[in-house]
Amino acid sequence: MFKLISELYPICRSITGEGVRETLRILEGIVPIEITEVPTGKKVFDWVIPKEWNIKDAYIQNMEGEKIIDFQTLNLHVLNYSSPVNETVNLEDLKKHLYTVQEWPEWVPYRTSYYAEKWGFCMSHNQMESLKDEKYQVVVDSTLSQGHLTYGEVYIKGKVPDEILISTHICHPSLCNDNLTGIAVCANLARHLLKTDNYYSYRFLFVPGTIGAIAWLALNEKKLKLIKYGLVTSLLGLDNVFTYKRTRSGNTTIDKIVEHVIKKETTNPEIIDFIPYGYDERQYCSPGINLNMGNLTRVPYAQYPEYHTSADNMDLISQIALEDSLSIFIKILRFIEQDRKYLNLFPKGEPQLGKRGLYDHIGGHNDSKTLQMALLWILNFSDGIHTISDVAIRSGIDIDIMAEATEMLFKAGLLKKL
Ligand code: ZN
């Protein structure tokens, strides 16, 4: 994952343009990804796909011919979606087009102007303060033209058409935690699912923030009824506490599963109620869509000092945190896969396990007591109301042992699939 992130880091992404396409092409090397191009001007719900933005170069040059700001060394230096410019301006006029972050005077902020055409540059506050009162040549060699918005989709067919949706944003340029970490974890999670035998179908969306999610929803409204629930995710590369923001209704299966897993497997997780602010859960949980989508990150939305600055770079994130995040997702998937109901076919009294060879089987198991408890829990709660993951959460027994016990009971003819 770290290697993938270092490959993606230098690319100048935005909500449209070649940077997004190049990113998706690199992801294609990991998972088969279906790429959709939505043309400029297409209406998607209340929005319109904007002009496509591409950029070759940008710099600010002083009168000595020295480039004091160079897009080639850091793409955050250009206001993302900046309109083209080639002018000589004085310091006072230049400052009207400069963006800095005063609290962190050494860092370059990441700023965008998607829906208002203007040119601009981002630099450290210290550098802006040190600018001499002279003339500067400003060049942004960008284009805003009729083109497309691009997003990627990975669909993994399971035994049933019911889908689990996982969405992450791909529109940020050279920023690591936000959100190359989300991209890397999702791509690897999809790769993991391609190798396993899955009950549910899974759909991963790699979409530009807001407009990308809205475009996907608008173009796929008919598919929404198949989505059981899902997660929006990002910010997965810091060694911080896991933060889960609940779905809009706050008490759905995905809420129960994620809360259980992060409480059991991680230290001091933070769980917050839904608010209509943050990432693309804003779109998925809008009232006319109303999908059961939670949001899982390693730090609350925007709540870290390096957020949207040049300090959100390769030095900030760690491979260990990424692996940790991936393993938590894999654990969540195991619970999702067991979100299925069975019926105890011998519900009057306990069925006799010994005569069915279940105790013998248990004897050789390295966690035989837990497995025995799992059998009893499953038999008791396979009442047509509870799922296996419900029983795992209630009993606290490991989900893999629950899955194994379910299989044993099913094979012994004690359970029926519902
Ligand atoms: Zn962001």
**Distance between Cα 350 and ligand 1 center (Å):** 54
**Torsion on CA atoms 188, 192, 193, 198, rounded to nearest 10:** -160
Which tokens in the block code for residue 345? 């076919």
Say how far apart CA 119 and CA 93 lie, in whole Å.
12
Orientation angle between helical segments 319-337 and 399-411, nearest 10 degrees: 30
Residues of the chain whose pLDDT is less than 70? Answer: 360-366
**Distance between Cα 401 and ligand 1 center (Å):** 39
Say how far apart CA 191 and CA 156 lie, in whole Å.
10
- Protein residues within 5 Å, CB atom, of ion ligand 1: 178
Could you give phi then psi for residue 299, rounded to 5 degrees? -165, 140
Fold of 341-417: Arc Repressor Mutant, subunit A (1.10.10)
Q: Which CA distances in Å does 181 have to 112, 175, 192, 250, 291?
A: 20, 9, 16, 26, 24
Fold of 52-145: Glucose Oxidase; domain 1 (3.50.30)
**Distance between Cα 301 and ligand 1 center (Å):** 8
**What was the pLDDT predicted at 361?**
56
**What was the pLDDT predicted at 411?**
96
E runs forming strands in 293-356: 293-297, 341-344
**What was the pLDDT predicted at 365?**
62
**Distance between Cα 317 and ligand 1 center (Å):** 15
**Distance between Cα 288 and ligand 1 center (Å):** 25
**What was the pLDDT predicted at 261?**
98
Could you give phi then psi for residue 176, rounded to 5 degrees? -95, -65
Q: How many CB atoms within 10 Å of residue 205? A: 25
What is the H or E stretch that residue 156 is in? strand 148-156
**What was the pLDDT predicted at 188?**
98
User: What's CA 371's distance to the chain center, in Å?
Assistant: 34
Contact of 382 with 350, CB cutoff 8 Å: no
- Nearest Cα to Cα of residue 216 among 38, 376, 375, 80: 38
User: Amino acid identity, residue 418?
Assistant: L
Q: Which CA distances in Å does 38 have to 58, 265, 353?
A: 27, 40, 58
Q: How many CB atoms within 10 Å of residue 72? A: 12
Query: What are the boundaries of each domain within the chain?
Result: 2-50+148-337, 52-145, 341-417
Say how far apart CA 167 and CA 227 lie, in whole Å.
12
**Distance between Cα 61 and ligand 1 center (Å):** 29
Say how far apart CA 155 and CA 169 lie, in whole Å.
17
**Distance between Cα 179 and ligand 1 center (Å):** 7
**Distance between Cα 22 and ligand 1 center (Å):** 19
Task: Give the CATH class of 2-50+148-337.
Answer: alpha beta
User: Amino acid identity, residue 385?
Assistant: I
**Collapsing DSSP states into helix, strand and coil, what is residue 250?**
coil
**What was the pLDDT predicted at 358?**
87
Could you give phi then psi for residue 129, rounded to 5 degrees? -65, -30
Peptide bond into 179 cis (omega under 30): yes
User: What's CA 143's distance to the chain center, in Å?
Assistant: 29
For the stretch 173-197, pLDDT in tens is 999 999 999 999 999 999 999 999 9
